[in-house]
A and B are shown apart, each in its own frame.
Chain A
Amino acid sequence: MNGPTPARPAGERGQPRDDRRLSLRALVLTGLAVCVLLAGVASAWASTRPDGLEFVAEKLGFAGAAGEHALDGSPLADYGVDGMAPSGLSTGLAGVVGIVVVGLVAFGLMRLLARHGTRSRDLPPSH
């Protein structure tokens, strides 16, 4: 299908459509902003009802089998900041910390693996 036609290398050649395209950096930054809004703000309005598994466990009578989490006393246990009254703000702050930690680990890990992997950049996905 692709034949000898040179496929676009990731939108860095200044061709008409590429100019209109969101750059990777802009995409990642926009995505991270959405994530901060979700975890930092919208989480305050998340449903506090038990989730599917908890609900079924309560209904069928094995919820009591759940043991205390070994880290229940940790500073961010249950998505709240230790010492703060349970509130949307506390949940939101915990969420933002979570984003930073997940982000550091995930971006770091993926970069590390990419560096040691096959360097396929600038090549179009092969068909």
Chain B
Amino acid sequence: MHVPDGFLDAPTSLATGVVAAAGVALALRRARADLDDRTAPLAGLVAVFVFAGQMINFPVGAGTSGHLIGGALAAVLVGPWVATLSLTVVVAVQALLFADGGLTALGANVALMGLVGVWVGWAVFRLARAVLPGRLASVPIAAAVGGALSVPAAALTFVGLYAVGGAAPIPLGSLVTAMGAWHAVIGIGEGLITLLVVGALVRTRPDLVHGARGLVGAEDVLEIRERAVR
């Protein structure tokens, strides 16, 4: 999913860069409300995990592979604003230290993974959580759905950017089909990893999971009542 230099022309890269920068600037302001002594270390861990997870390409179908994006995963664990910052740190280090993802495409990659991946993942998670029963067990499932759909959403956003300022003329229909189909498959992997990781956190420390807010409180009350009975 890392766009290299040269796929998008200069105006498109520049415009995407401006959008990405605005998003990150806003996230820098808004993330503060979600960060405290408890959540800041978790946010650091989430960024490191996304970096590590993105190194593990898994084979998908005939001759291609996919890897975690981690946008939905991060958003559910630490909230979407902090998640945008986490993904931005990862994508920037990848481009600057590992030559992975073009320098002129840095804005596009931040926009695709740190904005679209995170916010589509978060929005779908919220919708899924509203539909599913209001229990902690619903959180990893909703997160997995968010993760699964965030990947084709990011892929189709790339198609949109390519339609505006792509380097070589490609029939748009075949680009939509190919990008959408392959990334729908990769999205299944994203959903599974998101399910496992969010599931593990929900089992061990649900109180730290941003996307479980409102559910932990209810169980706390129950637990306190049980204790009172004892």
Contact = CB atoms under 8 A, between A and B. Distances in A.
Interface of A: 1-3, 5, 7-8, 10-11, 15-17, 21-22, 24-25, 27-28, 31-32, 34-36, 38-39, 42-43, 46-57, 59-62, 64-72, 74, 76-79, 91, 94-95, 97-99, 101-103, 105-107, 109-111, 113-114, 116-121, 124-125, 127
Given A46-B56, A102-B93, 16 more contacts: A21-B205, A27-B42, A46-B55, A48-B65, A50-B65, A54-B64, A62-B170, A65-B168, A69-B102, A95-B52, A98-B98, A101-B93, A110-B35, A110-B40, A110-B41, A121-B37
A117 B227 contact: no
Interface in B13-55: 28, 31-49, 51-53, 55
Q: Which of A8, A68, A114 has the most CB of B within 10 A?
A: A114
A12 to B, nearest CB: 10
B183 interface: yes
Given A24-B42, A52-B155, A101-B93, A114 B35 contact: yes
A7 B216 CA distance: 10
B213 interface: yes
Contacts of A38: 49, 52-53, 55-56
Interface string B87-126: 0011001111111101100000000000000000000000
Interface residues of B, number: 83
B107 to A, nearest CB: 15
Interface of B: 1-7, 28, 31-49, 51-53, 55-60, 63-67, 82, 85-86, 89-90, 93-100, 102-103, 155, 158, 166-168, 170, 174-175, 178-179, 182-183, 186, 204-205, 207-208, 213-214, 216-218, 220-221, 223-224, 227
